[in-house]
Amino acid sequence: MTKLTLGSHPHMLGFEQLERLLERTAKSGNEGYPPYNIEQTSQTSYRITLAVAGFADDDLSITIEDRQLVIRGRQTDDGTERVFLHRGIAARQFQRSFVLADGVEVEEAVIENGLLHVDLRLSRPETVVQTIDIRKG
């Protein structure tokens, strides 16, 4: 028996890109750091909030790569010689990825009180009805 994939189903023309996005999301393997929330703030807007305590603005970068929102954090060493008796606050780098649907755009990113807020907006295109003329052969 052959495996029927989403892109090869006869009624799902042009959905190969969606199948690739699903595979890429499944393989992304985001461990658990930093913790995050995703909330719907209105019918057409969303907010992703990441707990990034200890990261400065310059330590964070947000990019969109092939419809994928990528948030990276890398803390820089301040160069001072410090002796820790206990080090419980990890100074590690991270990368979080979120696949964006068509029409979802990043509005802004704000950092406050150790939380990074990334606001997204969904722009819904108008419904277009197209009539196809049938010519005589």
* Through-space distance between the first and last CA atoms of the chain, rounded to whole angstroms: 41
Contact 35, 47 (CB under 8 A): no
More confident residue, 119 or 102: 119
Q: Is the peptide bond before 34 cis (omega within 30 degrees of 0)?
A: yes
Q: For residue 114, give the nearest of 53, 41, 48, 34 by alpha carbon.
A: 53
Banded model confidence at residue 37, pLDDT cuts 50, 70, 90: very high
Sorted by where each begins, the domain ranges of the chain are 1-30, 32-137
Chain centroid to CA 114: how far? 19
Q: What is the pLDDT of residues 103-113, one digit of tens each?
A: 899 999 999 99
| CATH level 2 (architecture), domain 32-137 | Sandwich (2.60)
